[in-house]
Amino acid sequence: MNNIKKAIRQINAGLLKLNTPTHVLSFISIDETVPQQTLLVNMGFMYGQAGESVVIVDTDFENKRLANAFKLASKMGLSDYLEHGSIKSTQIINELTGKQMSVVTPGKSGVANTDYLLDDPRFNTLMTELRAEYDHVLINTPALSDIESYSSLTQNTDGCILVTIKGVTKKKALYRAYQDLRKHGVKVLGYINVEKG
């Protein structure tokens, strides 16, 4: 846990030095996403403890780990909102009791039906609403190799933070990821190297 706290402090210190908005952040892993999710959730708790409102938007449709961790697995989520025009954004925002944090889960729709969803205009609408309502919007993405469209990352975030794993992520992979994201217009704010486990 000390490693995570240290990583969060490093990210926060780095963000404070930037002369750019960092209201909406995406977190992207080159390798597995468990350290990314741990980092993101703890960063959300840190902001919440400081009295700032936070919402985590989970766009990793294939993975229900975050939803299960918060016991929100059966709730409607992002895919339901994007697929059904009758569902309002307020119906998918799950406020965590006693915290200054809310979570939008991936939803109940099957993986096969969700690949195209983040390009839906309703996602842009949702992000505009969340940006206006919360101090911090933290976006959990799938691993970089599973991201099919970069448009949601370029249109709806102030930038992304690459998450690498000590002893796992190769320097060449980090360089390729950075170049690939930049080529697609994604603003990379930096990377954080965390320990596995």
Q: What is the pLDDT of residues 156-166, one digit of tens each?
A: 888 888 888 88
Its pTM stands at 0.88
- pLDDT at position 92 over 70: yes
User: What is the arrangement of strands in the sheet containing 54-58, beginning at the earlier edge strand?
Assistant: 94-95, 101-104, 54-58, 136-140, 24-29, 159-165, 188-194
Question: Do 166 and 196 meet the contact criterion of CB atoms below 8 Å apart?
Answer: yes
What confidence score (pLDDT) does residue 110 get? 57
* pLDDT tens sequence across 40-73: 888 899 899 889 999 999 998 888 888 888 888 6
Alpha helices in 27-117 (DSSP H): 34-49, 65-69, 78-83
What confidence score (pLDDT) does residue 125 get? 93
Question: Do 194 and 161 meet the contact criterion of CB atoms below 8 Å apart?
Answer: no
- Region of 107 on the Ramachandran plot (φ > 0 left; ψ -120 to 50 alpha; else beta): left
Secondary structure tally for the chain: helices H, strands E:
7, 7
Copy the structure tokens of residue 137: 């919007």
* pLDDT tens sequence across 126-175: 999 999 999 999 999 888 877 777 777 778 888 888 888 888 888 998 89
Question: Do 180 and 150 meet the contact criterion of CB atoms below 8 Å apart?
Answer: no
* pLDDT tens sequence across 30-46: 888 788 888 888 889 98
Phi, psi (degrees; rounded to nearest 5) at 44: -60, -45
Alpha helices in the chain (DSSP H): 2-17, 34-49, 65-69, 78-83, 121-133, 151-156, 171-183
